[in-house]
Chain A
Amino acid sequence: MYVTLECDIVKLIEESAQRESVDDIFSEVIDKTRQEAKMTDESVLDIFLNNFNKIARPRGKSLISYFDIGDMREASEDKIIERLKNNSENAIDQAQEVIRQRIDKYGISEPTIQKQGSRRIMLELPGVNNEVEMRQLLQTTARLEFNLVKNNKEIVKTFAKIDKLLSDKAKRAKGLLPDSISAASSTMTQDSSNLANKDSAKSTKDIATKDKKKSKKDNKSEIKDTAKTASADSVKPAADTSDPYAGLSDQEKSKRYYEDHPFTTLFQSYYVTDDGRGGRSQPIAYSLPLEQYPEGEYNFIIPEQTLKKFNNIMARPEIKALIPFDLKIAREAKPDPRVEKQSKQKIYNFYALKREPEITGEYVTEARATFDPNSNQPMVLMGMNSEGADKWGRITGANLKKRIAIVLDDQVYSAPTVQSKILGGSSQITGMANVEEARLLEIVLKAGALKAPVQIIEERVVGPSLGEDSINSGLLASGIALLMVVFFMLIYYVKGGLVANISVILNVILILAILSAFGGTLTLPGISGIILTIGMAVDANVLIFERIREELYKGRSLKSAIDEGFKHALSAILDSNITTFITGLILYFFGTGPIQGFALTLMIGIIATLFTQIVVSRAMIEISLIRGATSYNFGQPKTLNI
């Protein structure tokens, strides 16, 4: 598999802007820049600035309106441009590093990773079978952020609203609900929490084990449970008062509950209560009036089966509008390993996160998976630079006992609870289920330095059957071609031809040896390069032998004819090979992937040719002369034999 990647500088610029100041004008500039950047190779930053001047400036906006460079007193247009420029220049180096790590981790033997120009990375990945996976691995936007977890009452209320919106819509579609929704709405939300609890318990049968584990895991979550009593009061007894499903059969109740809660039934929600021994998770149902949900911390888990539906709903614009503007929903990257191990079920945690990250991954300088010497549990050590350490100290200080999610590309890899204010930038992250999880977190933290996502702009894959097929026919053709050349040389130049043939074969062996020393694989263009070399290699000997023959015709002795032949042919051989080498060199620098392979083989071939045809051929002829040969058959007419 051969891939060229390019850093998405547009995205980088977009991400550099302060989110709260992004408006339609800015989006328009970004959209236009993205379109233009697709078609030209001009610097993306220049295109952006140009568009900004054309679109945003006339409407009274300046770069300072969107970009923040920390100290307001120092903020100037030039400073912002300079910073954007630096970031876009560094982006490619970071991307290359991240990709190298990812590929190393993936375990590809002998990958080639090369920077091409200022924005591209070229990759050669021999033996990749799963291109889809590889593509994901490469294109994943490695943006690491630390976001506060906001699994609070607010988001539970939001979920309840989504339920209502969807169920109302479904009912309207069926004609069950007239125009005036408001009248019905108050009762609609009044559900039997009893039933709901039963119901969720039923649908979480498989997750039951998880519940226990969950509470264990939540031991660390030391949340002050201010709403404990309130919740106990409000969750349970709501049942009798206003049960809209009263008098219905259990089956019917369940059906109705599902109809009324098309969204929240896709996943499980838990209220985390403090039972004195850390945290305990208690399943909740969405049957309370909006204001009655208890304050405090919640947990959400979703099985893989309903994930797609969940994502589809979340992607709808009218649903997006319901989510509080400062929150976003992100799920864990991997299913809970404990549940997966026990029940083979893929269950994901998902979180409501504060949209604005507390800090981004650019400050992370190192990450290392190791073991906690006290508990012997896996953990990850994370280090930050001094600027990051300052920020991190403030953040952790302000959010003691709260959870901060480590988010890479909108997927949560860990959501540890802050145990203490962390000064000096060195943090310990614990709570990993196993070593693999710790190792993954280490990679995630390292990958986080990358600010700009990459896109695949060129991709070539040769399937195994074609590769084999065409390499076979390529090899067959080369074999036949080689035989014909050998045969011709033997007939025409007799003993000289034999010498030439030996050097040609030596030549091919040499090329293969050098190619493998370079770590190159034998590709089709490579084969054509070798074939071409076969054709060209004999040219040098043809030149020499023709010249020797000429000298013999002139009546020179064998020894001096050979000397003269080599001497006079040399300049022609050198000049002609150097010109071909020049084109090879140009091909190598201008071509991509396969063409580079061809050019490299061609250049190696030329050097090997010069060596074998001039040095080796001559040595062979000289040796037989030293051994006392008085005649040498270069295919010249017998009368000329000396």
Chain B
Amino acid sequence: MQFFHGTNIDFVGKRKFFVTISTLINIAGILAIFLIGIEFGIDFEGGTEIAYQFSKPLHADVIRNAVDKIGIRGSEIKSFGKENQFLVRVKETDNAQVKITEAFNKYLVDYKPTVLKVDKIGPKIGKELRGQAFLAVLISIIAIMLYIAFRFEFTYGFGAVIALVHDVILTFLVVIVVNKLGWIDLEFNQSILAAMLTVVGFSVNDTVIIFDRIRENKDKMKGIPFLKLVNVSVNETLSRTFNTVLTVVLVLLTIVLLGGPVLQGFAFTMLIGIITGTYSSIYIASVFVLWYMHSVKKIQIDYEPDKKPELKTAKV
């Protein structure tokens, strides 16, 4: 069986178009982060979050009323996977669990509430975790850049990092929008952070494999213009890229559909990240290296520069 063999697709030929699209999407992503805002989960917000299961389905307002009755204001009630499962979130951390459970046993006794899980995060630790999350992403990006710069060249490291940032922003955009639309519960918590960081690792994984082929071909095919070199390398690794992405997507899709509410957000975030990661390996990371060779190092990257004059001034 073979999906791709001897393909000769001009991947980077249309780079201008893709880079423009990517830039626009990234701007949209940054705008979304500021305009819609990230909805932080309990991990980064602090408070108490309790997942309850009831013996039969009920309306969220009924639950909110019960919580209101004991004088805890501003509770958030969210559905949690099934019709009879709800997340109750309040700002208080001290005694909220005991109080709310008592209230439910009193007012919702017919629904036989049982506690599924409890997360209690002090306000300080929530704020701290947020800082740590940011730092974790930043440090992993820097560490990856240094590693690739060490294994390849600095330009490659930089290209990989630009692709990474692209992926993170794009994934953020999708996460924010999907969460806003309420399709999947994707508030930013620790497992979404974990997914993001795994996306970082994966995205680089893909980029590295293409870079590795470029490095190999560069020695093998001396004199070949860089543009062609990149195209050949992407084409040669296409089969691997496709198969790996396919298996990973298969796995993630299964979890999104069957893995239950706890794993769903994680798997969905990764799914988006994997897809953009694959795309960005070709259209961001490789194209950046191409652009650098052309614009900074002033290397001729194509056979016939006269026929494609726009390349010289192309800004990507």
Write the residues of chain A forming the contact surface with B, with a CB cutoff of 8 angstroms.
Answer: 4, 6, 38-41, 131-132, 455-463, 465-467, 469-470, 473-474, 476-478, 480-481, 484-485, 488-489, 491-494, 524-525, 527-528, 531-532, 534-536, 538-539, 542-543, 546, 549-550, 553, 568, 571-572, 575-584, 586-587, 590-592, 594-595, 598-599, 602, 635-637
Contacts and interface: CB of A to CB of B under 8 A. Distances in A.
B183 to A, nearest CB: 19
A204 to B, nearest CB: 34
Given A590-B132, A635-B2, A459 B120 contact: yes
A637 B2 contact: yes
B204 A528 contact: no
Contact of A528 (B151, B236, B267): B267
Contacts of A466: 51, 53, 116-117, 262
Given A463-B117, A595-B191, 19 more contacts: A457-B125, A459-B118, A461-B118, A477-B255, A477-B260, A481-B255, A488-B250, A492-B1, A493-B1, A524-B263, A535-B250, A543-B240, A546-B239, A579-B204, A582-B147, A583-B144, A584-B201, A591-B193, A595-B193
B190 A583 contact: no
Q: Which of B119, B204, B263 is most buried by chain A, counting CB atoms within 10 A of its CB?
A: B263
A587 B199 CA distance: 12
Contacts of B136: 586-587, 590-591
Given A477-B255, A579-B148, A470 B260 contact: yes
A38 B205 contact: no
A38 B240 contact: no
A598 B129 CA distance: 17
Contacts of A536: 202, 205, 248
B246 A460 contact: no
Nearest to A480: B254
A174 to B, nearest CB: 31
A39 B127 contact: yes
Contact of B209 (A480, A531, A576, A580): A576
B144 A572 contact: no
B251 A481 contact: yes
A333 B198 CA distance: 50
A40 B246 contact: no
Interface string B91-109: 0000000100000000000
B300 interface: no
A538 B236 CA distance: 18
A592 B244 contact: no
A480 B258 contact: yes
Contacts, number: 223
Most buried by B among A493, A543, A636: A543
Contacts of A470: 260-263
A477 B263 contact: yes
A580 B194 contact: no
Contact of A586 (B140, B204, B213): B140
B1 A635 contact: yes
A571 B200 CA distance: 20
29 contacts: A132-B98, A456-B120, A456-B122, A458-B120, A460-B118, A461-B115, A461-B118, A465-B53, A465-B116, A477-B257, A480-B254, A481-B255, A488-B246, A492-B1, A524-B262, A535-B248, A538-B247, A539-B244, A568-B216, A578-B147, A579-B201, A580-B201, A582-B144, A583-B143, A583-B197, A586-B197, A587-B140, A591-B136, A595-B194
Nearest to B121: A458
Contacts of B123: 38-39
Given A546-B239, A591-B136, A592-B129, A534 B260 contact: no
B125 A4 contact: yes
B175 interface: no
B262 A542 contact: no
B208 A572 contact: yes
B251 A474 contact: no
Given A535-B248, A535-B252, A491 B1 contact: yes
* Most chain A CB within a 10 A radius of its CB, from B124, B127, B255, B257: B255
Task: Find the residue from B5, B51, B259, B260 having the highest chain A CB count within 10 A.
Answer: B259
A469 B259 CA distance: 10
Contacts of A578: 147
Given A470-B260, A480-B254, A460 B201 contact: no
B133 interface: yes
List 4 A-B pairs, minimum CB-CB distance, nearest first: A466-B116, A473-B260, A457-B122, A580-B201
Contact of B190 (A456, A463, A494, A591): A591
